[in-house]
Amino acid sequence: MRVFIIAFIVIIAYLLIEGKIKAIYLATENMFGNLKWSQLLISSKIGSELTDISNCDNEKNLSVLKRESLLRIDSIWMDMRKEFDLNDYALLIFFGKDSVKFRIPLDSTFIISQSPITKIEKEAVYDQVVVYENGQTSGPEASIFVNISEDGSQEFLGLFSHFQQKGNLKVTFAVYKPIQSWFTLIKDELMANLLVLLFIIVITIFFTVRSVKKIIKSDQEIKSTLFESNLELNRKNEEITDSIKYARSLQDAVLMKPEDIMKILPESFIFYQPKDIVAGDFYWVMEHSNQIFYAAADCTGHGVPGAMVSMICANALNHMATEQNSITASLLLDKTRSEVIKSFTAGNNIKDGMDISLLIYNKETRHLQWSGAFNPLWIINKLNGKVTELKADKQPIAAFSEMKPFTNHTITLNDGDVFYLFTDGYADQFGGPKDKKFRYKALQELLVSIVNLPFTYQKQEIERVFKSWKGNREQVDDVLVMGVEFK
């Protein structure tokens, strides 16, 4: 397409420079606007020759008797064609005594012939003549000559001059040529200038190929750069992932291993589902002296930031729990809060910390204590299905505007009591048919429905319900649900 557009522009420019468009305009369109054209240009040049033709007594032998005069007319016409670039036009001379009967075409073949006028031409010529009473004829300076086909369509052929009366001979003439369309004109010029067109095509192909090569080279360079960038990104990603996995191993090292927990508390389960590789939620189980510490904690954030906070909080719990042989749940939270605040405010104004639900079980006395920071404790008796909720203090293990000592709850242990600790991740998970939160009420109903199952099956059911509820949606937070029965 680009080649033909360029070729079209070049040919149009060539026609303008050569004056061919101007000549065509002069010989076609301008004739309609200025009907004196043929009379002024042609009649003035061949008038004397027409007079010579009019002296011919034998009109049938005109081409023989007046051959020299006709050759001179043809020569004059050839000069005019060169002058006005009318190489494709012919001159028709119509003549006859009393009426116009014959015509002599003068064209580029230089063959002068005489032939009878056609019926259509005869009617067209007669239409241009006005005869006055004094015998004089009149008509337009030049009249349009139209060839009428049998189907009624009309084709412009040229322009008639008015009749000239030369004695008994009536003479008129017409510039003849059908109008060329722009398509025909440009097609002819394209064929006439094939070498120019081929040159344009070659140049266009050359620059096109050159541009394509540059694009391909640029594309290859971009792909190479992207490939190297992807390799670098993959390398960085692997390094970051490896670092996070190592952080997970450090976090796991702070927490008691599941198999060790089962040795201390065989009737228990922990459903732990971090949102990322590392988590802000953590379970904390420790045995010190005659006490077993059992807690579900939710630190600020999740992922790497949450994991860093969780390690600080877990270390603070370990440190405070081992300071003395016996400690209350509320005092442990108070001391842990002080330790966490000290760790985070060393030169920084950071208010990160954790929410927690903490149980302390005395193996000798079988006494239970509980204290909570925002996170409650649910006690479900599997013998009668009764649910008891202990509400936590509305303050975190962190710097807080109105810090108060945490409340210590002493719990009487009844047969069949199962204790459930949890963070907010399970209840806040979006899912289900209406994409809503699971909520605490549904979690409590779930726990009531499974409280009589062995703890292994309780964990499986909690996991199954969570996955079913979440479906293909993204997990919104770390999830931790813990259950234990003290026997």
Per-position pLDDT tens, the chain of length 487? 565 566 666 666 655 555 444 444 434 444 433 334 445 566 667 766 766 666 665 555 666 667 777 778 778 877 777 776 666 666 777 666 655 556 666 654 444 444 555 554 554 444 444 444 455 555 444 455 555 556 655 555 555 555 556 556 666 666 655 444 444 545 565 566 666 667 777 787 887 788 888 888 777 888 888 888 888 788 877 777 666 676 677 667 777 888 999 999 999 999 999 888 878 899 999 999 899 999 999 988 666 777 788 888 888 999 999 987 889 999 999 999 998 888 876 545 556 789 999 999 999 999 999 999 999 999 999 999 999 999 999 999 998 888 999 999 999 999 999 999 999 999 999 999 999 999 999 999 999 999 999 999 999 999 999 999 999 999 999 999 999 999 8
pLDDT at 186: 52
**Contact (CB, 8 A) for 295 and 357:** yes
* Angle value at C-alpha 405, between 401 and 411, nearest 5 degrees: 135
> Which tokens is 283 given?
């379970």
Interaxial angle between packed helices 194-254 and 2-18, expressed in degrees from 0 to 180 and rounded to the nearest 10: 150
Whole-angstrom Cα distance, residue 68 to residue 81?
Answer: 20
pLDDT at 71: 77
pLDDT at 135: 52
pLDDT at 459: 97
Whole-angstrom Cα distance, residue 354 to residue 284?
Answer: 13
pTM of the predicted model over 0.75 = no
pLDDT at 222: 81
**198, 359, 388, 420 from 380: Cα distances, Å:** 94, 15, 6, 8
pLDDT at 107: 55
Q: Which domains does the chain have, with CATH numbers?
A: 2-192 (no CATH), 255-484 (3.60.40.10)
Long-range contacts for 246-253 (Cβ within 8 Å, ≥24 apart)? 247/277, 247/278, 247/304, 247/307, 248/277, 248/278, 248/307, 250/311, 251/278, 251/279, 251/282, 251/307, 251/310, 251/311
Q: Facing residues of 292 across strands? A: 287, 361
- Alpha helical stretches, state H, 345-386: none
Whole-angstrom Cα distance, residue 90 to residue 72?
Answer: 15
> Which tokens is 281 given?
């939620």
Burial zone of 52 (CB within 10 Å; 0-12 exposed, 13-18 middle, 19+ buried): middle
3-class SS at 223?
helix
